[in-house]
């Protein structure tokens, strides 16, 4: 624990500056790796000079993410602002991930039926047909192609449009504004993009209220809005916005970076081709390795909390690094190694599972859907285009920078 005593008492300007860009699409930054080697809890410095606890230990992350004394309420004045864009009002708060009970439970109950395993399984044939059509379109047009634009983004974007009841014909608008919001460099940029999405969803919700019926979660939200004792309209719009944002960007980047990871590990890709039944295990390993959100959760302590000899004081912020807790050597043997058979061998008991989808009451409501989309996307892609390869060197991929959302702006491929 000596290293933690040092970081706790060091001046802010000597603390590790969070976040730090990756140098490899599927590995955490060198700075994160160094912190992980020194212990499970660390003080780090944010962009605005404030300090926050960064959690790199898996059991510590599980305990903190399930502790009711840790608040997810982003409207709190003491809630940590990880990046400048999160100062925008549109993020204060976000539905589902940014509320505490009882509001969180009411929101989750409203949307959870759309993401059950049964519902997701019923969607699978449609997603398989979509992925096949997109792969065939790429083959027909011929190389080179941008895998993000031509494959990885249209799959989850189409699916979330269907689930929400948002017209896919308008996908260029909501994809552009979503990217503008999630990659904004300032609060003003984030607010402008967020307001455009808010107004768009507001118009769709109003139309559903006037003309009820039909499929899609927007219809369910419209029914709730028309109830005298239903959730507030602004909360319903926050739910729609959160699902729209979370339903396509992270999954599309998992498809893209997962493809890169497989291509750069040809032995593991060969193992998958030799035994397609390990695909679910491969998806779990990719989720562990890539961790596109790089955060399993951000919280603020409402009371003093002692954990492993360290006291997190009331009002102090905590961020859980999914990329590092997923590499806790005490939980995952050979943590930096991509192993397609890891889960298939039973190396992921309930207390050893990756935390890419979070943990506790705020665990991602759409994780069943994301897993299914990833399984379909990888299976179809490598079956239809077995000669797929990157068309630029790995270090020339246009990676996102200065963010906790990992990804590439484009993924040039050929075959």
Tens-digit pLDDT profile for residues 267-324: 999 999 999 999 999 999 999 999 999 999 999 999 999 999 999 999 999 999 999 9
Strand, coil or helix: 146: strand
Alpha helices in 10-55 (DSSP H): 30-38
- Provide the pLDDT for residue 204: 94
Cβ atoms of 377 and 385 closer than 8 Å: no
| Structure-model confidence comparison of residues 222 and 349, the more confident one | 222
Q: How confident is the model at residue 1 (pLDDT cuts 50, 70, 90)?
A: very low
203 C-beta neighbours (distance < 10 Å), count? 10
Quick one: average pLDDT of 164-168?
92
Neighbours of 210 (CB within 10 A): 9
**pLDDT tops 50 at residue 146:** yes
Q: Kindly state the DSSP code that residue 380 receives in the 8-state scheme.
A: H
pLDDT at 8 over 60: no
Confidence of residue 175 (pLDDT cuts 50, 70, 90): very high
Q: In whole angstroms, give the CA distance from residue 62 to residue 90.
A: 28
Q: What is the pLDDT of residue 76?
A: 94
pLDDT score, position 342: 87
Query: Residue 295 to residues 24, 115, 220, 324: CA-CA distances in angstroms?
Result: 17, 22, 30, 9
Burial class (CB in 10 A: 0-12, 13-18, 19+), 189: middle
Model confidence pTM above 0.85: yes
Residues 6+ apart with CB under 8 A from 259: 147, 152, 378, 381, 388, 411, 413
In this prediction, residues 108-124 reach a mean pLDDT of: 95
Rounded to an integer, the average pLDDT of 144-156 is: 98
- Residue 247 to residue 156: CA distance in whole angstroms: 6
In the chain, the domains with their CATH numbers are: 2-414 (1.10.630.10)
Cβ proximity of 127 and 255 under 8 Å: no
352: pLDDT confidence band, cut at 50, 70 and 90? low
pLDDT for 323 equals: 96
State mean pLDDT over 21-46.
96
| The pLDDT of residue 9 | 37
């Amino acid at each position: 624990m000596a290293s933690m005593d040092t970081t706790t008492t060091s001046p802010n300007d000597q603390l590790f500056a969070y976040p730090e860009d990756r140098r490899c699409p599927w590995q955490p930054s060198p700075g994160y790796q160094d912190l992980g080697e020194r212990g499970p809890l660390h003080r780090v410095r944010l962009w605005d000079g404030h300090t926050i606890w960064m959690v790199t230990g898996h059991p510590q992350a599980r305990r903190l993410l399930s502790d009711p004394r840790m608040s997810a309420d982003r409207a709190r004045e003491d809630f940590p602002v990880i990046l400048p864009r999160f100062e925008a009002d549109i993020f204060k708060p976000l539905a589902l991930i940014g509320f505490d009970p009882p509001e969180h439970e009411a929101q989750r109950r409203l949307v959870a039926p759309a993401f059950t395993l049964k519902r997701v399984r019923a969607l699978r044939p449609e997603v398989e047909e979509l992925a096949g059509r997109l792969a065939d379109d790429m083959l027909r047009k011929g190389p080179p192609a941008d895998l993000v634009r031509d494959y990885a983004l249209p799959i989850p974007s189409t699916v979330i449009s269907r689930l929400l009841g948002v017209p896919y014909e308008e996908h260029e608008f909501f994809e552009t504004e979503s990217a503008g919001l999630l990659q904004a460099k300032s609060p003003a940029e984030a607010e402008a993009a967020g307001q455009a999405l808010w107004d768009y969803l507001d118009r769709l919700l109003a139309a559903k209220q006037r003309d009820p019926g039909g499929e899609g979660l927007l219809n369910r939200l419209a029914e709730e809005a028309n109830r005298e004792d239903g959730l507030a309209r602004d909360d319903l719009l926050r739910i729609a916005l959160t699902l729209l944002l979370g339903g396509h960007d992270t999954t599309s980047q998992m498809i893209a970076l997962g493809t890169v990871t497989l291509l750069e590990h040809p032995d593991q890709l060969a193992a998958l081709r030799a035994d397609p039944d390990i695909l679910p295990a491969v998806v779990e390993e990719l989720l562990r390795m890539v961790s596109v959100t790089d955060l399993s959760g951000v919280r603020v302590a409402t009371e003093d909390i002692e954990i492993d000899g360290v006291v997190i004081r009331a009002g102090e912020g905590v961020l859980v690094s999914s990329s590092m807790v997923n590499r806790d050597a005490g939980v995952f043997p050979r943590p930096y190694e991509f192993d397609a058979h890891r889960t298939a061998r039973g190396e992921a008991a309930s207390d050893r599972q990756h935390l890419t989808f979070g943990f506790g009451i705020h665990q991602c409501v759409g994780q069943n859907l994301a897993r299914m989309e990833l399984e379909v996307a990888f299976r179809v892609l490598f079956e239809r285009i077995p000669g797929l390869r990157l068309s630029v060197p790995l270090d020339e991929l246009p990676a996102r920078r200065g963010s906790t959302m990992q990804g590439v702006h484009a993924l040039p491929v050929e075959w």
